[in-house]
């Protein structure tokens, strides 16, 4: 890659310190390379010139050649300023009537009035370019660009770049941006080195980088633009996958793992006493984990499974393999509620095995904590379930062999690293990361591209599908009657309100008003209503949640606090208020809170009076499918990968400038397969043909903190 790419953007002709500061703060552009990697987000075809009579307001952008017929200046109060009394400081609008042989139209300017007034002289002809609109029934253009008529070039696609108000007022307009891009290309292209070797360009049919960069900013035609776009997308995704797979490749050959060759008696006892058969998917995943544990290399595996697919059972059996080989296991959960729930479930499974389990959270008392610490140090505790409390320095294991992390995006990298440091004999434990947030394949490939991925893609037998209905306010009374009927059968119901930000007063008001309404509809002593939200103390939350879990409360009114992990098999109704305000993944997670018992369950999506097309599409999809992976794919298409639950905290390993995980799944799959092919031939990228690839991967953006390889 050219050294010119690293030049500070302020030294580019036409930039300077002031504009450089703006580019830095508004677009995160610090170097010439950053500027050239800021690609247009769309293009305008400026090859056609239209006649005024053919223009209509629905068009995106148009060009007309028009002669200035009349120019008028107006003051702030709307009065026209005559030529005798022109004072530009009073003027705030310039109206220019232009015409061609088919008709007339108005162009209007609110800024730079003096400059425009001096140039747009009656009788002169210009090429005007802008967006048409209607005002008072007539078509006009506000602030069009204008130039000499001969500047209309055949077949020119003009790039439109991301911009902000500050950039425009600082003089970095679309035109200026194009000039800067042109100067950047002149500086960089003569010494540009292509990071992709010639053999890759030939095998994959890719254009050289110099061609791609020129054509992405100044396309000669649609065909050249398509070739440039494909090349840049492939390069971005290929280098990303190459960096992830190289780490995985190196680790799988070098990372020593604690050997666990046996299954052990505890595993067999637990397995044989299960009240039901494991699903085919659970058996397959346990086999994959078993292979990892006896391979002699450290396991780094992601376990994906929809809500209720039986991940906890897999975690228990994996832990028992560790115990059967003389090691301890720990399971770290993001919240106390979830840790308690895991502990209660796991204790049932461990009963026939004689393996001792313990629970350690922030609210564990001093005496109990002392006892647990002692049990971990002497090895009498085989499996510990806990929250962040597990990573405290005072927690010392005799021989930690397996670390399981539930919903890992809720833990910081440094927190997880402290857990890995507790491995037996200084060797990092085997790592199993579990998530109930279905992640689209393309995103999993990127977020967790250096992990092995297991998917539980079938539900346990007997789990009935949740019937999902979407209803409006006119059905509210019917909804309350339905809940009464379910409670009469001995069931319970969740009613969830959106809380987009913890401090949003409007949301709290909605929650409080909703709670009052629910109490009115379900009065004491016949009914008991609990309430849980983020502003309560831990004790209050635990009290209300406990009442609902134990069946003392019939209804739990809540914010999305209950989204992850609350398990109440007796709850058969989930009502989601203002469902249009939730994302698809969140709706799916909430729906997963019901349907956990043997009874038929229902999810009722209550929508407001005004619902956008996009929101209605989300609600329709929820009613149409229960498949979390389908929902996640759609969610990513609608919202982009950055918004998906958890991905912002995890962050993509590098930022993508042109490729999109939502839209470019095929290119990503191809890039990953090709990266695997390259590494099979040359694992360390040492061959002469791959020196440019090795140099590219040494750059900071590809280097991920190595915390026993989970990040």
3-state secondary structure 555-610: EEEECHHHCCCCCCCCEEEEEECCHHHCCHHHHHHHHCCCCCCCCCEEEEEECCCC
Q: Comparing 109 with 417, which gets the higher pLDDT?
A: 109
d(C-alpha 442, C-alpha 647), whole Å: 13
pLDDT, mean of residues 201-212: 96
Give tens-digit pLDDT for 537-570.
Answer: 878 888 888 899 889 999 999 887 654 456 788 8
Spatial contact of 622 and 631, defined as CB atoms under 8 Å apart: yes
CATH label, 48-152, candidates 1.20.990.10, 2.40.50.140, 1.10.287.130, 3.40.50.300: 2.40.50.140
Q: Provide CB contacts within 8 A for 136, sequence distance 6+.
A: none
pLDDT at 649: 32
**Neighbouring C-alpha atoms within 13 Å toward the C-beta of 710:** 29
Overall pTM > 0.95: no
- What pairs with residue 147 in β-bridges? 127
The token pair that represents 268 in the structure block: 């067999």
pLDDT at 206: 97
The token pair that represents 191 in the structure block: 């010494």
CB count within 10 Å of CB 135 equals 11
d(C-alpha 67, C-alpha 65), whole Å: 7
User: Dihedral of CA 518/523/527/533: which sign?
Assistant: positive
Integer Rg of the chain from CA: 32
Q: Beta 466-471 vs 42-45: how paired, if at all? A: unpaired
Q: Which of 8-12, 73-77, 178-182, 325-329 has the lowest mean pLDDT?
A: 73-77
Spatial contact of 240 and 654, defined as CB atoms under 8 Å apart: yes
pLDDT band at 646 (very low <50, low <70, confident <90, very high): very low
The token pair that represents 258 in the structure block: 């604690």
Q: Which of 65-69, 196-200, 625-629, 691-695 has the lowest mean pLDDT?
A: 625-629
The token pair that represents 50 in the structure block: 């239209």
User: SS3 of 296, please?
Assistant: coil
Given a cut of 50, whether residue 709 has pLDDT beyond it is no
- Cα angle value 56/59/60 (rounded, 5°): 150
d(C-alpha 171, C-alpha 18), whole Å: 10
CB count within 10 Å of CB 511 equals 24
Q: Which CATH architecture has domain 466-625?
A: 3-Layer(aba) Sandwich (3.40)
pLDDT band at 77 (very low <50, low <70, confident <90, very high): confident
d(C-alpha 475, C-alpha 495), whole Å: 15
Spatial contact of 148 and 126, defined as CB atoms under 8 Å apart: yes
Given a cut of 50, whether residue 348 has pLDDT beyond it is yes
pLDDT at 251: 65
Between the alpha carbon of residue 240 and those of residues 194, 244, 674, the distances in Å are 16, 6, 12
Given a cut of 70, whether residue 688 has pLDDT beyond it is yes
Spatial contact of 384 and 360, defined as CB atoms under 8 Å apart: yes
Given a cut of 70, whether residue 606 has pLDDT beyond it is yes
Q: Where are the domains of the chain?
A: 3-44+163-191, 48-152, 193-254+663-711, 265-456, 466-625
pLDDT band at 334 (very low <50, low <70, confident <90, very high): confident
The token pair that represents 674 in the structure block: 């090709």
Q: Which of 347-356, 431-440, 487-496 has the lowest mean pLDDT?
A: 431-440
pLDDT, mean of residues 361-374: 92
pLDDT, mean of residues 407-432: 76
d(C-alpha 386, C-alpha 343), whole Å: 8
3-state percent breakdown (helix, strand, coil) of the chain, nearest 5: 45, 20, 35
Q: Beta 466-471 vs 357-360: how paired, if at all? A: unpaired
Q: Comparing 72 with 305, which gets the higher pLDDT?
A: 72
Helix (H) or strand (E) holding 282: helix 280-293
Q: Do domains 265-456 and 466-625 have the same CATH topology?
A: yes
Q: Choose among 159, 143, 158, 172: nearest CA to 26.
A: 172
pLDDT band at 615 (very low <50, low <70, confident <90, very high): confident
pLDDT band at 639 (very low <50, low <70, confident <90, very high): low
d(C-alpha 297, C-alpha 292), whole Å: 7
Given a cut of 70, whether residue 85 has pLDDT beyond it is no
Please tell me whether the peptide bond between 311 and the residue prior to it is cis, using omega within 30 degrees of 0. Answer: no
pLDDT at 647: 36
Name the most confidently modeled range: 27-36, 399-408, 586-595, 662-671: 27-36
d(C-alpha 35, C-alpha 701), whole Å: 16
d(C-alpha 228, C-alpha 219), whole Å: 9
108: left (phi over 0), alpha (psi -120 to 50) or beta: beta
Q: Which of 112-116, 124-128, 283-287 has the lowest mean pLDDT?
A: 112-116
DSSP state of 620: H
Strand order in the sheet with 300-305: 357-360, 383-386, 328-332, 400-406, 430-435, 300-305, 452-456
The CATH fold of domain 265-456: Rossmann fold (3.40.50)
Give tens-digit pLDDT for 213-240.
Answer: 999 999 988 899 999 999 999 999 999 8
> What is the overall mean pLDDT for the chain?
84
pLDDT at 481: 96
Q: What is the full DSSP assignment across 451-470?
A: SEEEEE-SPPTT-PPEEEEE
Give tens-digit pLDDT for 476-531.
Answer: 999 999 999 999 999 999 999 886 444 555 555 677 888 899 999 999 999 999 98
3-44+163-191 in CATH: which number?
1.10.150
CB count within 10 Å of CB 14 equals 12
Q: Choose among 128, 83, 121: nearest CA to 105.
A: 128
pLDDT at 560: 72
């Amino acid at each position: 890659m050219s050294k010119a790419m690293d030049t500070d953007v302020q030294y580019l002709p036409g930039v300077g310190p002031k504009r450089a500061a703006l580019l830095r703060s508004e677009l995160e552009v610090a170097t010439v390379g950053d500027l050239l990697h800021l690609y247009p987000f769309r293009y305008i075809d400026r090859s056609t010139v239209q006649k005024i009579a053919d223009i209509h307001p629905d068009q995106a952008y148009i060009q007309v050649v028009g002669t200035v017929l009349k120019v008028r200046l107006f003051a702030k109060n709307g009065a026209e300023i005559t030529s005798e009394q022109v004072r530009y400081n009073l003027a705030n609008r310039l109206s220019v009537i232009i015409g061609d042989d088919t008709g007339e139209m108005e162009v209007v300017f609110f800024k730079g009035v003096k400059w425009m007034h001096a140039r747009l002289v009656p009788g002169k002809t210009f090429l005007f370019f802008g967006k048409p609109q209607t005002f008072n029934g007539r078509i006009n253009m506000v602030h069009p660009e204008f130039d000499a008529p001969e500047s209309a070039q055949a077949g020119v696609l003009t790039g439109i770049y991301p911009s902000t108000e500050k950039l425009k007022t600082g003089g970095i307009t679309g035109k200026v941006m194009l000039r800067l891009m042109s100067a950047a290309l002149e500086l960089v292209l003569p010494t540009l080195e292509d990071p992709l070797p010639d053999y890759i360009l030939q095998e994959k049919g890719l254009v050289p980088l110099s061609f791609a960069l020129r054509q992405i900013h100044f396309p000669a035609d649609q065909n050249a633009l398509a070739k440039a776009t494909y090349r840049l997308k492939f390069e971005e995704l290929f280098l990303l996958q190459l960096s992830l797979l190289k780490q995985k490749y190196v680790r799988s050959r070098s990372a020593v793992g604690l050997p666990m060759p046996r299954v052990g008696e505890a595993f067999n006892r637990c397995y044989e006493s299960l009240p039901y058969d494991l699903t085919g998917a659970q058996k397959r995943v346990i086999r994959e984990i078993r292979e990892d544990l006896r391979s002699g290399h450290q396991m780094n595996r992601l376990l994906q499974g929809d809500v209720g697919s039986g991940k906890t059972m897999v975690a228990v059996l994996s832990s028992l393999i560790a115990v059967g080989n003389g090691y301890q296991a720990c399971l770290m959960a993001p919240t106390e509620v979830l840790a308690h729930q895991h502990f209660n479930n796991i204790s049932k499974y461990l009963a026939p095995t004689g393996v001792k389990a313990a629970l350690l959270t922030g609210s564990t008392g001093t005496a109990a904590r002392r006892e647990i610490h002692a049990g971990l140090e002497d090895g009498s505790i085989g499996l510990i379930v806990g929250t962040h409390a597990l990573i405290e320095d005072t927690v010392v294991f005799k021989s930690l062999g397996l670390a399981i992390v539930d919903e890992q995006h809720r833990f910081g990298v440094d927190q997880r690293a402290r857990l890995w440091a507790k491995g037996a004999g200084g060797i990092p434990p085997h790592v199993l990361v579990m998530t109930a947030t279905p992640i689209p394949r393309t995103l999993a490939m990127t977020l967790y591209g250096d992990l092995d991925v297991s998917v539980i893609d079938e539900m346990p037998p007997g789990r009935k599908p949740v019937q999902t209905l979407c209803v409006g306010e006119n059905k509210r009374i019917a909804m309350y009657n339905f809940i009464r009927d379910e409670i009469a059968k001995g069931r319970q119901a969740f009613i969830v309100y959106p809380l987009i930000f913890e401090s949003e007063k409007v949301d709290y008001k909605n929650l409080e008003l909703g709670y009052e309404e629910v109490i009115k509809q379900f009065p004491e002593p016949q009914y008991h209503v609990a309430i849980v939200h983020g502003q309560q103390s831990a004790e209050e939350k635990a009290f209300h949640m406990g009442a609902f879990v134990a069946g003392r409360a019939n209804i739990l009114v809540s914010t999305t606090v209950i989204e992850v992990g609350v398990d109440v098999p007796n709850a058969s109704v989930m009502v989601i208020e203002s469902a249009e305000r939730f994302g698809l993944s969140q709706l799916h997670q909430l729906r997963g809170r019901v349907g956990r018992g043997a009874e038929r369950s229902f999810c009722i999506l209550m929508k407001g009076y005004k619902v956008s097309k996009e929101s209605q599409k989300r609600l329709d999809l929820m009613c149409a499918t229960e498949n979390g992976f389908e929902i996640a794919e759609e969610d990513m298409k609608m919202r982009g990968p950055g918004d998906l639950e958890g991905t912002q905290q995890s962050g993509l390993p590098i930022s993508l400038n042109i490729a999109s995980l939502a839209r470019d799944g095929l290119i990503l799959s191809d890039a990953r397969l090709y990266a695997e092919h390259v590494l099979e031939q040359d694992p360390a990228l040492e061959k002469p043909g791959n020196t440019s690839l090795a140099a590219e991967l040494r750059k900071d953006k590809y280097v991920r903190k190595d915390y026993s390889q989970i990040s």
